[in-house]
Amino acid sequence: MSTRDRALGALYGLALGDALGMPTQSLSRSDIALRYGVVDRLLPGAPDQPIAPDMPAGTITDDTEQALLLARLLIEGSGQVDPHAFAEALQSWEQDMIRRGSLDLLGPSTKRALDRLADGVSAEQTGRDGTTNGAAMRVAPVGLAYGVEVTRGAAHTALVDAVVESCRVTHNTGLGIGAAAAVAAAVSAGVAGADLPTVVAVAEDAAAVGGQRGHWVAGGSIAARLRWVRGWVHDLTPNELVPALDEVVGTSVAANESVIAAFALVEVLGNDVRGALTTAASLGGDTDTIAAICGAVLGAHHGMSGLPADLLDQVRQVNRLDLDTTVDGLLALRATNLP
C-alpha cells in the first residue's frame, strides 16, 4: 500500500466518520438507540436535529470542512499557518455556513478566541482557555504534511511545532495542543505504515510533548488518559464498551473526553473500520468528531481499500469530494518535513 493511498484514506476516513456522526451529534446514547438503533448507515439529519436539521444523508460537517481549510492554508503557506490568516479563514467559513442556513458553526473555544482577536488581544493569548476538541478534529492535514519517528520516546519536534501553530489562536493550552498532537501523530504514523499499537503509542508520546506547550489549564492529561484507556478497555466485554465510553470516558466536546473515546475505539476495533465508525456514531455526545478522528486514524493505517466503499461512495457524491489535489499538496510538504 502506498503512502498516497494511506494519506487519501486519512482524509476520506475523516469525512466518512464525520458524515456518519452528523445525524446523531449532540443526542444522548439512549435517544440514538431509540431513534436509530446502531447507526450502521448514513442517515439524514432529522428536522429536530439540534445542529444539522434536515441535512441530507452523507453530509459532512465542520470537522471535515475545517480540516480542508487547514490543509489549504498549510499548502499555501509551505507548511506554515499564519494565525491571523487562519482566524480570517475560520470567520469566513462561519459566515458561509450562516448563508447556507447551517447551525454547524464555530465551537465555543474557537468563537471566544476569534472574538478576542477582533478586540485586539494578541494571538498568543486568544486561545489561552481553549480545551475543547476543535483543534484535534481538524488537525489531520498536519499529520500528512509532517512525518514522525515511529519509535517510543521521540520528541516529534517538527510535527508538534506545526500542531502548536494550528492551535495557537483557538486552543493554545496543554489540553488542546496535547489532543491535537495525538491525532496528528497517529495520522502521520499510520501514513508511514506503522501498525496500530505503534500508531497509538506514538500518539501518546506526542500528546505528552504537546501537553507541555501552551497555557496550563486544569484537566486530566491527554497522554495520561490515553495510557490509562488503552489498558482499561481491554478488560471490557463488547457489551460493556459503549456504556463505558459514554459514562466513564465521556463523549463531550472536551478534548480529554471525546479524543480519548476515539482512541479507545481505535484500540479495540481498529481492525474493523466499519464497526469502529458506526459505534462512534452511536455513542452519543460529540459523535461526528469522535467518528471523524477515529476515521482519520484508521484511514491512515488501512488506506482507501480499508474504508467501507459503499458508505464512502455516498459521502463523496453527496459532498462532491475530490481530495487528490489536496493530498498531493500535503505529501509534497511531507517530503521536506520527514524526521
Specify binding-site residues: 61-63, 286, 288-289
327 φ, ψ (degrees, to nearest 5): -65, -40
Q: What secondary structure does DSSP assign to 119-163, as a single string?
A: TT--HHHHTTT--BSHHHHT-HHHHHHS----STT---HHHHHHH
Q: Which residues are annotated as a binding site for Mg(2+)?
A: 61-63, 286, 288-289
* Cα–Cα dist 284/23, whole Å: 11
Q: Cβ neighbours of residue 111 under 8 Å, at least 6 residues apart?
A: 105
Q: Torsion over CA of 76, 114, 292 and 294, rounded to 10 degrees? A: 100
**Could you give the 3-state DSSP secondary structure of residue 169?**
coil
Residue reference for cell 499538496: 329
DSSP single-letter state for residue 249: I
SS (H, E, C) 33-102: HHHHCCCCCCCCCCCCCCCCCCCCCCCCCHHHHHHHHHHHHHHHCCCCCCHHHHHHHHHHHHHHHHHCCC
254 φ, ψ (degrees, to nearest 5): -60, 130
Residue reference for cell 489498558: 231
* Cα–Cα dist 288/301, whole Å: 20
- Cell matching residue 211: 501537553
